[in-house]
Chain A
Amino acid sequence: MKFFDCNVCFGRPMIRPIRFAETAKDLLKEMDFYGIDEALVFHSRQRDDSPVVGNEILLNEIKDVERLYGTFAILPPQTGEMDSFEDLLEKMRLGNIRAFRAFPSEHKFLMTRVALGSLYDFMIERNIPLFIPINESCGGISGWYLIEQILSNAPDLTLVVVEHGSWGQDRFFRPLIEKYENLYLDISRYELDGGISDFCAKYGAERLLFGTGYPWWNPGGPILMLTQADVTTREREKIASGNLKRIFGRVRI
């Protein structure tokens, strides 16, 4: 089975994790250790630093590196810090960038339609997925409330919530899964016993993506959990790589 990890960070984070991969080359070695074939990545500077700085670092780091796809960190277009949408597309094409990622806590912006409406429309028009960790917050809204706000502002947005936590989240996310068909979850922390098979029985396997949360989380957990999940081979393959490839196949850049 091929693993395509949708949730990986490399670089040297400001708060040092116990283990990390500083460069793209280091990351490939780590992926080889775990048997992970491809990964959608961001650089730690995209979160810890200005996205303007971090996005350029990412482009340079993954340039011509096979197996790695990049994620651009976003900002509200109004400040002019981000490239124009046209320039963004050009950089995405050249740099193997396939997704956006939001860090509203660190970068201090609101995820309302007033702030991000034009960017949401751009992502929807181009089918570019937006990734967001569940521990993000903005303007006093956090967690699943924030996710609901994003989706109510942009119901057609392809949104991937990552690291949604192990301490009982189904009651939060299932209503949103039922309402928004372009909402996806990564399984990096979906540790619930029987969670994957129970989810697939009710919603199908199309809404789950294999992710590890490297370097903060141990990739061995989701790897063995998915490999042995009580689902069909076809469902397992969709989660391991097929769903992300399908999402990427729709991206128009």
Chain B
Amino acid sequence: MRSSQIVREFMENGKSKTCPVIDMHTHLGPYQGIYFPNPSPEDMIRTMDRCGVTMAVSSSHAALIDSRENIKMVDTVKRYPDRFRAYWVINPNYPEDIEEEIRQFSKAEGFVGFKFLSDYHRYPVTSPRYEPALKYADEHGLIVLLHTWGYSSYDSPKLVEKIAVRYPNAVFLMGHSGYGEWEKAIQVARDNLNVYLELTAAYAVNGVIEWMVREAGSEKILFGTDLPWFDPHYGIGCIIFSRITDEDRHNILHRNAEQLLQRFI
């Protein structure tokens, strides 16, 4: 195990010179149900530096609750252009705001696409209320980070597949990899060019990373942590200690994300 250069570097230094990390699923700021020691952008950058995370793509916690907060992410990206990009949260509970939000999004700098939190907002990803954002993402080839959970009536892998087929130019990241419904999530990522498995929380499940790599390929897997929720070292540890190759580790930890973010950097 320790023959892997990546494993050695992370164990000895907490980061790797040859294998940077891009975190495709982060948040920012305090949140209702959890105590965070490190919630500010500056705290997060300190954590990112310790872990070798070069870039984080975030939706602020405040924007998950009130989408009028989205615009504040512009400041964060402006202050730290080399460290942050952002997702614009779409809340389908306020459909009257969505067109205007898409207009604001189109003018704002630093955003790579949209974030849907369907389990919490309680509208399925297939709801017509998401259509304006999905159409826009499809027209512009944007990234859509979906919170996904196994067997959910709002954002299960099966529902993700429906929108992935309907909007083939949008890039869908299955946040949490459809947690628990692994077989279906892996199939959806494998069979749809525009769908990726995103590992936040999923990485902790022993053996699931090997399964994903074997069945979907490491080219379809992205690293994420929900930071400031989870210590990136926890997630990185799960990946580097999986029975996969260093090439797979590179793909998951940075290469795939670099490709997706190329036009936004």
Contact = CB atoms under 8 A, between A and B. Distances in A.
B36 A193 contact: yes
Interface in B175-203: 182, 201, 203
A192 B205 contact: no
Interface residues of B, number: 43
B231 A225 contact: yes
A168 B34 CA distance: 4
A192 B11 CA distance: 19
Interface stretch (B74-82, B116-124, B237-245): B237-245
Nearest to B39: A193
A221 B205 CA distance: 10
Nearest to A196: B231
B14 A220 contact: no
11 contacts: A18-B208, A19-B210, A33-B1, A166-B204, A170-B35, A193-B228, A194-B37, A194-B43, A196-B231, A219-B241, A221-B238
B11 A191 contact: no
A222 interface: yes
A120 B111 CA distance: 57
Contacts of B50: 228, 230
Nearest to B211: A18
A197 B38 CA distance: 11
A225 B237 contact: yes
Contacts of B232: 193
A171 interface: yes
Name the residue in A168, A194, A216, A223 with the highest tally of chain B Cβ atoms < 10 Å from its Cβ.
A194
Contacts of A219: 206, 241
A215 B211 CA distance: 15
The 10 closest A-B pairs by CB, nearest first: A220-B241, A224-B237, A168-B34, A18-B207, A194-B37, A19-B207, A220-B237, A228-B14, A198-B37, A218-B238
Contacts of B33: 167-168
B35 A168 contact: yes
Interface residues of A, number: 36
A17 interface: yes
Interface of B: 1-2, 10-11, 14, 33-38, 43, 47, 50-51, 182, 201, 203-211, 225, 227-242
A34 B241 contact: yes
Given A18-B207, A166-B229, A191 B34 contact: no
A142 to B, nearest CB: 17
Contacts of B227: 193
A191 B229 contact: yes
Given A219-B206, A222-B237, A224-B237, A194 B231 contact: yes
A47 to B, nearest CB: 17
Interface string A12-33: 0000011100000000000001
Contacts of B38: 193-194
A231 to B, nearest CB: 12
Name the residue in A19, A198, A222, A224 with the highest tally of chain B Cβ atoms < 10 Å from its Cβ.
A224
A217 B205 CA distance: 5
Contacts of B239: 220
A191 B241 contact: no
A195 interface: yes
Contacts of B1: 33-35
B34 A221 contact: no
Given A34-B1, A194-B38, A230-B50, A218 B242 contact: yes
Interface string A220-253: 1111110111100000000000000000000000
Interface string A165-198: 0111011000000000000000001011111111
Given A166-B229, A219-B206, A225-B231, 20 more contacts: A17-B206, A18-B205, A35-B1, A167-B33, A171-B34, A189-B204, A191-B204, A191-B234, A193-B38, A193-B230, A194-B37, A195-B231, A196-B231, A214-B206, A217-B205, A220-B238, A223-B237, A225-B237, A227-B11, A229-B233
A227 B8 CA distance: 12
A219 B227 CA distance: 20
Contacts of A191: 204, 229-231, 234
Nearest to A198: B37
A222 B211 CA distance: 21
Contacts of B211: 18
Nearest to A188: B204
A3 to B, nearest CB: 12
B71 to A, nearest CB: 26
B231 A193 contact: yes
Contacts of A193: 36-38, 47, 225, 227-232
A225 B208 contact: no
Contacts of A18: 182, 205-208, 211
